[in-house]
Each structure stands twice: as structure tokens, then as C-alpha cells.
């Protein structure tokens, strides 16, 4: 399957030459392709997720890909706190990690690229007042954003969550394409997207502003003994 047209490739190459400064590493957690399907290890989205990343990596020498077999890579899974596939971890030197579960396509694809580019350039997008607020965070906070590829509103919230994670190493952002994870849809009672879940306690349906996200994060009041050093150990 061809994911990018020749024109797409030219435009992305030009964009990456202009916007990428630091090296980018994608860590893809997937399963090995096999003619034999093992119950419990099915991952219909894994091949396309890998193809997408391979095509992106082919457009810039600054983008790299490391592939992990989810069922064998126990230590990397623990390090990155990955618990489902396909999972894409994006990282760059000095920046916080971003995690996407599923295939970043549709309206999520520009958000995925934006996070990568901001990470590479060390560029911030939040208002100064919001940034100052996030700087006061002293406890680890996990943002889970449930999205779909055809929702512009979900894309906006995903972009905000990524911006928050790039602002503080105490914030982790997980963007989850709900269509690829029906069990999570039921477990988190996701009836519409976007849905924002903070530390598995605070649930917010629909659009969310910078100010409201900051308010909910600061008010979550979840204590943790885990340190930043432990997260990146």
C-alpha cells in the first residue's frame, strides 16, 4: 500500500529540511508478522503503523526508527510503560516523550508531525500564563486523550496534550485512537471523542482549553513517590 504520493513526499522532505533540528527517534512496539495468528497477539493495525513510520524515516536523515516486538521486549516495555500495540514513542534529546497508540492518520497525522517537529526544534506553543502554571506541577500527571482520525476537535485536544507534555517532564501524554482499541472504549466509557482522562480519575468529554486543562491538572491532587529520574531511568 502506498501511503504518500510523490507530491506528498516532496512536500514533507521540504518541511523536514526546514523544521527539524535535533534528531528524532521513533520506537515502535509491534508484533512480528506471521502466517500463523496466535490468539491474544493479533494486531491488525501494526503493519500499517510500521509502514507509515518507515516512509516518514525515508524522508529525512534526522528521523530514525527502532522496532520492538512487544511480546519479547519486556525491558523496553517497562521503560516506556507500554501496555498495548501498536504503540509509537517519539523522543528527542532533552525533550519529554510523546506516545501514540494506533495509527496517526486523518486529522491526527498533522498533530503527530507537529509534536515531532516542536520536539526537534524545542519550540513551545502554550501561552505564557499556561506555561507558568505547568511549571508549578510537582507530581507526575498522565494525560490520556481518546481520539479518532476523523475528528478535528479531537486533533485540537491531542495537540494541546502534547504541548503540555513538552512543557513539563512531569506530564506524560498518551494519544489513543479509540477505533483500534474497543476494549478501552468500554473500560473508560468513551461514548464520544475527544475524551481527556487525567490520572485515571478526572474525565472530561469534548473540547478543552489550555486554562481548563491546567486547572484540572493542578487540581487532580494525585500524589506519587515516583521521581522524574525514575521515569527516565
Residue-wise pLDDT tens digits, 137-173? 888 999 999 999 999 999 999 999 999 999 999 999 9
Domain span including residue 162: 6-231
pLDDT attached to residue 189 = 93
pLDDT attached to residue 171 = 94
In a domain, 79, yes or no: yes
pLDDT attached to residue 40 = 65
pLDDT band at 233 (very low <50, low <70, confident <90, very high): very low
Q: Is the peptide bond before 193 cis (omega within 30 degrees of 0)?
A: no
Give me 68's grid cell.
520492538
Nearest partner of 156 among 196, 129, 190, judged by Cα: 196
Look up cell 509534536; give the residue: 115
Q: Looking at the 3D structure of the chain, how many domains does it have?
A: 1
Number of helices followed by number of strands (H, E) in the chain: 9, 8
pLDDT band at 61 (very low <50, low <70, confident <90, very high): very high
Q: What is the pTM of this model?
A: 0.91
Strands (E), the chain: 24-30, 63-69, 87-91, 98-101, 141-147, 171-177, 195-198, 202-205
In a domain, 47, yes or no: yes
Look up cell 476537535; give the residue: 153
pLDDT band at 23 (very low <50, low <70, confident <90, very high): very high
pLDDT attached to residue 186 = 93
In a domain, 21, yes or no: yes
In a domain, 1, yes or no: no
Q: State the Cα–Cα distance between residues 91 and 101, nearest whole angstrom.
A: 15
In a domain, 162, yes or no: yes
In a domain, 120, yes or no: yes
Helices (H), 65-194: 74-80, 108-121, 128-134, 152-167, 182-187
pLDDT exceeds cutoff 90 at 41: no
Amino acid at each position: 500500500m502506498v501511503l504518500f504520493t510523490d507530491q506528498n513526499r516532496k512536500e514533507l522532505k521540504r518541511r523536514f529540511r526546514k523544521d527539524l533540528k535535533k534528531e528524532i527517534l521513533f520506537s515502535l512496539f509491534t508484533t512480528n508478522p506471521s502466517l500463523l495468528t496466535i490468539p491474544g497477539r493479533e494486531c491488525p493495525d501494526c503493519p500499517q503503523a510500521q509502514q507509515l513510520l518507515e516512509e516518514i524515516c525515508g524522508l529525512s536523515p534526522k528521523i530514525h526508527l527502532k522496532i520492538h516486538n512487544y511480546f519479547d521486549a519486556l525491558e523496553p516495555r517497562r521503560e516506556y510503560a507500554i501496555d498495548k500495540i501498536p504503540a509509537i514513542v517519539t523522543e528527542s534529546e532533552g525533550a519529554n516523550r510523546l506516545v501514540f497508540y494506533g495509527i496517526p492518520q486523518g486529522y491526527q497525522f498533522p498533530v503527530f508531525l507537529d509534536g515531532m517537529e516542536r520536539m526537534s526544534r524545542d519550540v513551545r506553543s502554550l501561552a505564557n500564563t499556561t506555561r507558568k502554571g505547568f511549571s508549578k506541577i510537582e507530581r507526575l500527571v498522565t494525560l490520556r486523550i481518546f481520539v479518532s482520525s476523523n475528528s478535528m476537535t479531537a486533533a485540537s485536544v491531542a495537540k494541546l496534550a502534547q504541548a503540555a507534555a513538552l512543557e513539563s517532564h512531569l506530564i506524560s501524554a498518551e494519544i489513543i485512537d479509540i477505533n483500534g482499541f474497543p476494549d478501552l472504549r468500554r473500560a473508560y466509557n468513551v461514548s464520544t471523542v475527544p475524551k481527556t482522562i487525567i490520572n485515571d480519575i478526572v474525565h472530561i468529554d469534548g473540547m478543552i482549553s489550555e486554562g481548563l486543562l491546567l486547572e484540572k491538572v493542578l487540581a487532580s491532587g494525585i500524589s506519587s513517590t515516583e521521581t522524574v529520574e525514575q521515569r527516565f531511568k
